[in-house]
Amino acid sequence: MADASAALKVWLDRDGALLRLRLARPKANIVDAEMIAALHAALDAHRAAPGLRGVLLDAEGPHFSFGASVEEHLREKCAAMLASLHALILAMIEFPAPILVAVRGQCLGGGLEVALAGSQIIAGEDAQFGQPEMKLGVFAPAASVLLPYRMTQPAAEDLLFSGRSVGAAEALAQGLVQRVASDPEAAALAYFDEHLAARSGASLALALAAARVVMRSQVRERLAAVERLYLDRLMSTHDANEGLAAFLAKRQPAWEHR
């Protein structure tokens, strides 16, 4: 096992057929600049690996991720944060092997956005999924684009507008996750062994490209659009800046609805 950084553990499994990525800063596993860079670097380093048939992304500790760094959402930092996160999302969607994501505990905000860029999400029975950004007066750009590919538009809007979390059973019923298991990592490995290990890596890569030929172009275009909406309009509002400041100060926000 090799550490790509202090934030992420990276190794090859199944005789090089499976790339393992593990968020390694429990219990929060915050998706900050360091974590984003480590994930992106690991994918880039293994993109052309011969014989790769899958990726398994999981996390140390009781929780997958509490989300992105709130400090990096502040007006002076958010442009760089969004650019790097959205580049990672695109790298995951365009990766030439299926990415399985095993989730335990909380999977929130930017952590859920990263999970949504995978092929399948396997949830532990204790998993909780949510986009709480609206509680801070901001919206979730990548989730605004990716959630409707997994759920109906109304179900996606429920999570995006309310900021509430859903448990594993509700997430499964809504299509947000593909299976629920007592041990999501073991279930993901079993899926890989049964359904992907014996396949051609070259054919899998082309099957991914075929299945996502429309999705990839749409996500790239829509991410750019929501990024501009976030930077040019949202961060010019009083309430977005107030919500972030209130969270960092551990007080209730004073909304002015402007």
Of the candidate CATH numbers 3.90.226.10, 3.30.450.20, 3.30.465.10, 3.10.20.80, the domain formed by 2-183 belongs to 3.90.226.10
Is pLDDT larger for residue 102 or for residue 72? 102
Looking at residue 72, its pLDDT comes to 83
Which tens digits make up the pLDDT trace of 49-100? 999 999 999 999 999 999 999 888 888 889 999 999 999 999 999 999 999 9
Looking at residue 6, its pLDDT comes to 87
Neighbour-count burial for 139-175, b at 16+ CB within 10 Å, e otherwise: bbbbbbbbbbebbeeebbebbbeebebbebeebbebe
Looking at residue 212, its pLDDT comes to 97
Question: What value does the mean pLDDT take over residues 137-161?
Answer: 97
Q: Choose among 88, 98, 112: nearest CA to 39.
A: 88
Catalytic residues: 133
Give the C-alpha separation, 120 to 170, whole Å.
Answer: 16
Which tens digits make up the pLDDT trace of 222-256? 999 999 999 999 999 999 999 999 999 999 999 99
Question: What value does the mean pLDDT take over residues 189-209?
Answer: 97
Q: Percent of the chain at pLDDT above 70?
A: 98
Measured over the CA atoms of residue 122, residue 207, residue 86 and residue 148, the dihedral's sign is negative
Looking at residue 4, its pLDDT comes to 53
Please give the model's pTM, rounded to 2 decimal places: 0.96
Looking at residue 77, its pLDDT comes to 84
